[in-house]
Structure 1
Amino acid sequence: MLIPVILSGGAGTRLWPVSREGHPKPFMLLPDGQSLLGKTYRRAAGLFDGRGDIVTVTNREYYFQSRDHYQSAHLERHRGHFVLEPTGRNTAPAIATATLAVQAQHGDDAILVVMPADHLIRDEAAFQASVAHAVELAKNGHLVTFGVLPSAPETGFGYIERGQPLDTKGAAKVLRFVEKPDLPTATQYLESGRFLWNSGMFCFSVKTLLAELQTHAPELLEQARACVAASTAVETSGCVQQELSATHFAEMPDISIDYALMERSANVVVIPATFDWSDIGSWSAVADLVPADAQNNRATGEALFIDSQHNFVQSEGRLVAALGVENLIIIDTADAVLVAHADRAQDVRRVARQLKDKEHEAYRLHRTVSRPWGSYTVLEEGPRFKIKRIVVKPGASLSLQMHHHRNEHWVVVEGMAKVTNNGSGSHLVAKNESTFIPAGHKHRLENPGVIDLVIIEVQSGEYLGEDDIVRFEDHYGRVDACC
């Protein structure tokens, strides 16, 4: 049995201001309107002739967003199994716990194909052919990694040195894994013809991976077993939700699978990927997905270029005019603008790092924030007031909650709202009607209809922070959470 395992983590700080802690790189929409995560789901589903399981390892905070992307990919015939991490712990804990979860469901002989959620592969037929090659090697007890033929002396990727050939399709023993090199070293690797880029994709059987971990990382395996044993898996509507024990997971090391196992094992083989591959690791990589004009300017959204060349503009709603400039990256979002020289695309992570150090909200959240029940957008805010646009999905509801410091005035602009206010029962509020929630009132907002409920919320009070919330009941397990 073949089980795709999608690793959906990482902040993607080089793609700020679109990629943020609360809306990381896998959820980014590419110029074609699809997210990287959605594309990965579809690619995983393409490995099956019929129905199959797709395992996704991600942070528990991204579970509902991930399910939304899964559903938008129209993969209802596949069962989604979400292994939810309480915190980030790198790829070794993620792969170990996912493998144990698959073992419990499908046994030792299941073959796993591990793929990051933030890679772009457009030639799916070639991808499927490479996976079929890897599966045959995995059945023979190998740990298989996918190497990408380098097209340039890239310093942003790790490398794999090939050793003894194993078959006529290009598979070879792995001599060594090499960290990101400097430019002269990367040039030597390219010229030698022995090195491949390390894609971070793997294929192996459950029994092989666990046996190799037992030999080379027994403590990690023991910790993973304890963590999975203490974790519960609940299946609802064809989807398994398995939350890993926070106590046990916190004891696991923050280490990559390369360091923990692949660099130590003598049983690793590499196959050269026959498909196109990009890790979309910078805005330059995103720009390459967009057609260029005669002056090599590229744009998504509305942009105007005058006496300008070799620029990339992405705008989420405003016109961006570029006059007399060249080699710039301009990314315009609702609350932040990035202007960078194209040669400094890899340094955008420094901006994100400084924002994080300063605890600036623009590192963590966008103006529009996803929630299990829908989303909210901050339209305007100032001293003692905040205005939001709230969208509640059909059949969804916010928690039964109370605020100590703020009053809320709701105006329905689309759909029908069901409102509970201070124990007086519930009532319906129609389009163009409003209701008022004083501070201290226990209340709930629900959408009983079949279309999105859209309301405008005006908050007023001494304190308007998102942590001014007390939950009494919640359909999404957030009674002890703050958001």
Structure 2
Amino acid sequence: MLYPVIICGGAGSRLWPASREKHPKPFLPLPDGQCLLQKTLLRAIRLQGVKDVLTVTNQELFFTTEDIYQEVKKPKDCELNYILEPFGRNTAAAIASAALHLLRRHGPEAIMLVLPADHLIQDEGAFAEATRQACLLAQEGLLVTFGIKPTHAETGFGYIEADTSRNTEHGLRVKRFVEKPDHATAQSYCAAGNFYWNSGMFCFQAGALISEMRAHAPEILDAVEVTLDASPARDNEKLLRLDATSFKKVPDTSIDYALMERSHRVATVPCTIGWSDIGSWSAMCELVEADQDGNRLTGDTVSHSAFNNFVHSPDRLTALVGVQDLIVVDTPDALLITHKEHAQDVKHIAGMLKQSGHEAYLTHRTVHRPWGTYTTVEEGERFKIKRIVVKPGASLSLQMHHHRSEHWIVVSGVALVINGDSELMLNSNESTFIPAGHQHRLANPGVIDLVLIEVQSGDYLGEDDIVRFDDKYGRA
């Protein structure tokens, strides 16, 4: 049986400001309305024989991932399982965790199909055929990569050099992996005919991967085994939350460097599947149809004497006059303007924001929580105003703040509120005041979203001013 393993993580820094560390690239909606994570899940469950999908992601992204998966129509007999990392440790740790987990549940011959959640594949028929070929190679004990036939001299990807003297029936043996080349070297790779883009997708038997890691990366495998032994599964093994203390000791490195570049049992399946890693705004703009002036515009946008620009402006009007070859990305709390030739350099801005501790690297103005979302509407000295949306049946933790008081006003829906020793049921246009130091909780007992406005006031309004006493999502 084939077990897709979806790896969902990474900040997608070249797609800032739409992509943030706590709302990364896999969650970004494409022009057709679906996000990359949804497309990855759909691609996985449409493969023949798939009954079980394992997702490896950060524990802070789990509830958003679940919400996104709920929008995907899947067969009733298809199970969704999770491994939750307390923090990122790169792909070697993520894939080793998945392999050991599947080995323990399904045995060494379980075939893993590793799929990064931030890739776009437009030819699913070709992808399914490439997966079939990869599974046949995996059954021979090989570690299989998916090599994308290059269409141009790309310097943003690593390459795989195939050994044409060692062809197999279903693919090619790999001679070496090559780091991202300069333009002249990339041109020579394209001309050679036996170089392929390294897609970051893999297929192998769980037992074969573990055996090769034990030979070439034992320090990673040993640390991951210790972590899994210290990490009890929940919900009949559907949810495995990795132990943070043990996981911190796992070396932080990629599966390519830790294993693929060292193993002698690596093969590749050359394929043309309409693949893109959507690695920059230049790649994103190719998904939008150009108008008569070459502009590719999304959202509420107007232009005059403007040519060959890309605009992403879903929330407010953006106007272009007399400019060309620009990328403009507007979000509620950040605006990006760059020349198309410098699209890859956006990552430097994200890096500068991270280094300075600026919140625009981490989160959007709208922040996702397991119970719903909150949006910061306005803030200033000693006050902050939020719009809070609580999903039906969900509730915030029983909590207390030392430095701020809160005033809740219900906009729509019904709110069940614990405020100190009182329990209240609030309807639209009703409110309650919560002094600093009071234990309180907000819940939605209704069948529609609860929407309310929260007005905070106090000396300190940071999100870390919170003491949780009880929480249904395990955060207390």
TM-score bracket, normalised by the shorter chain, equals over 0.9
SS of the aligned residue for 1:355 comes to helix
Secondary structure, counterpart of 1:34 in structure 2? coil
Distance 1:174 1:307 in 2: 51
Aligned-pair CA distance for 1:74: 2.6
Which runs of 5 or more structure 1 residues have no equivalent in the other structure? Answer: none
Question: Paired residue for 2:241?
Answer: 243
Task: Give the C-alpha shift of residue 373 in structure 1.
Answer: 0.1
- Residue 364 of structure 2 aligns to which amino acid in structure 1? H
Is there any run of 5+ residues in structure 2 with no aligned partner, and where? none
Cα distance in 1, alignment partners of residues 274 and 466 from structure 2: 48
Q: Which amino acid aligns with 1:477?
A: G
Question: What whole-Å deviation, never above 9, does each CA across 1:172-211 have from its counterpart, x for those lacking one?
Answer: 1101000000111111111111100000000000111111
Deviation per CA, 1:119-158: give whole Å up to 9, x if none.
0012111111110110011011111000001011100000
Q: Give the Å deviation of 1:459.
A: 0.9
CA shift, 1:76, in A, is 6.2
Superposed displacement of residue 97, structure 1? 0.8
Aligned-partner Cα distance in 1 for 2:123–2:32: 16
The aligned amino acid for 1:471 is R
Decide which of 415, 428, 431 is 1:431's aligned counterpart: 428
Q: CA deviation at 1:433?
A: 1.2
Aligned-partner Cα distance in 1 for 2:51–2:347: 37
Where does residue 463 of structure 1 map in the other structure? 460
The 2-side partners of 1:229 and 1:441 are apart by: 40
Measured in 1, the distance between the counterparts of 2:307 and 2:169 equals 46
Q: Quote the residue 1:74 is aligned against.
A: 73
Report the AA paired with residue 350 of structure 1.
H
Does the residue aligned with 2:42 lie in a helix, a strand or coil?
A: helix
Residues 410 and 76 of structure 1: CA distance in aligned 2, closer, same or farther (over 3 Å): farther
Partner of 1:364: 362
Alpha-carbon offset, residue 106 of structure 1: 0.9
SS in 1 for 2:121: coil
**Is 2:446 the partner of 1:449?**
yes
Q: 1:126 maps to which residue?
A: 126
Report the 3-state secondary structure (helix = DSSP H, G, I; strand = E; otherwise coil) of the residue aligned with 1:17. Answer: coil
| Identity %, equivalent residues | 57
Partner SS, residue 315 of structure 1: strand
Match 2:343 to one of 342, 345, 370: 345
Q: Distance in 2 between matches of 1:45 and 1:113?
A: 12
Q: Which amino acid counterpart does residue 428 of structure 2 have in structure 1?
A: K
Residues 1:288 and 2:286 aligned together = yes
2-side partners of 1:261 and 1:249: how far apart?
19
Residues in 2 aligned to 1:256 and 1:364: alpha-carbon distance in whole angstroms: 23
Which deviations, in whole Å up to 9, do the C-alpha atoms of 1:3-56 show, x marking residues without a partner?
A: 00011111100000010111111111111111111111111111145x611111
Choose which of 302, 311, 315 in structure 1 pairs with 2:300.
302
Q: Indicate whether 1:115 and 2:115 are aligned.
A: yes
The alignment partner of 1:472 has SS state of strand
CA contact (8 A) 1:404 1:468 kept: yes
Q: Partner letter of residue 26 of structure 2?
A: P
Q: Pick the aligned partner of 1:273 from 271, 274, 279.
A: 271
- Equivalent-residue separation in structure 2 for 1:205 and 1:71 (angstroms): 29
Report what 1:328 is aligned to: 326
Aligned residue number for residue 471 of structure 2: 474
Instruction: Indicate yes or no: 2:40 matched with 1:40.
Output: yes
For 2:409 and 2:339, locate their aligned partners in 1 and report how far apart those are by CA, in whole Å. Answer: 44
Q: How far did 1:316 drift?
A: 2.2
1 CA distance for matches of 2:281 and 2:169?
A: 37
Once residues 109 and 440 of structure 1 are traced to their aligned partners in structure 2, the CA distance between those partners, rounded to angstroms, is: 56
Per the alignment, residue 254 of structure 1 pairs with 252
Aligned with 2:384 (options 378, 383, 386): 386
From 437, 440, 450, give the equivalent of 2:437: 440
Shift of 1:112: 0.3
Q: Which amino acid counterpart does residue 189 of structure 1 have in structure 2?
A: Y
Q: Does the 8 A contact of 1:316 with 1:334 survive in 2?
A: no
Rounded to whole Å, the distance in 1 between the matches of 2:339 and 2:285 is 13
Q: Deviations over 1:64-117 (max 9, x none)?
A: 111111111133622111111111111111111110011111111110000100
Name the SS for the 2:197 alignment partner.
strand
Q: Runs of 4 or more off by more than 4 Å in structure 1? A: none
CA distance in 2, matches of 1:168, 1:106: 27
| Residue in structure 2 matched with residue 166 of structure 1 by the alignment | 167
Give the match for residue 153 of structure 1.
153
Partner Cα separation in structure 2 for residue 167 and residue 474 of structure 1:
54
Q: How much does 1:168 deviate? A: 5.3
1:317 match: secondary structure:
strand
Q: What TM-score results when the alignment is normalised by the length of structure 1?
A: 0.96
- Match of 1:166, as an amino acid? N
Equivalent residue for 1:420, pick from 418, 421, 433? 418
Q: Deviations over 1:285-326 (max 9, x none)?
A: 110000000111001101111101010000121110000000
Distance 1:333 1:374 in 2: 20
Q: How many residues align?
A: 474
Is this contact kept in 2: 1:227–1:249, CA < 8 A?
Answer: yes
For 1:376, the equivalent position in structure 2 comes to: 374
Q: 1:193 is aligned with what amino acid?
A: G
Q: Which residue in 2 is equivalent to 1:185? A: 185
